[in-house]
Amino acid sequence: MSEELTHIETLEDLFAFQKRVENFMESEGINCLNIDPEGDQEPHFTWSRCECCKRPLGGVRYNCVGFNPEKHQVQGPYEVCPDCLYYIEYGQLDDMTMMNIKENEEGGN
């Protein structure tokens, strides 16, 4: 597994991505991630890493907040990529990405 995960193209990449998201959620103590209702709700471009998956790709980020059930408080904001936001909301990546992973695995890449 590559230390510097960028694109999610194989099952190995997917597992690394999932682990990073789980580690972020656990380290922050949050159980969800939502677009910040009190902040700028429009996505913006940045060259900064996603705060959740830590991938180094520049791209769209959303200002998000999470809820910490132990502290009974909202935490954030966090700059999060669309992949993380989608994964946390639906438990998987978008259909096209998942289909490409399946094709790459069946093709032996």
pLDDT tens, 54-63?
A: 999 999 999 9
pTM for the predicted model, two decimal places: 0.87
Q: H or E segment at 51? A: none
Q: Return the bridge partners of 51, or none.
A: none
CA dihedral 66, 94, 83, 13 (to 10 degrees): 120
pLDDT tens, 39-72?
A: 888 999 999 999 999 999 999 999 999 999 999 9
- Residue 36: phi and psi, rounded to 5, are -60, 115
Bridge-based pairing of strands 34-35 and 44-46 is unpaired
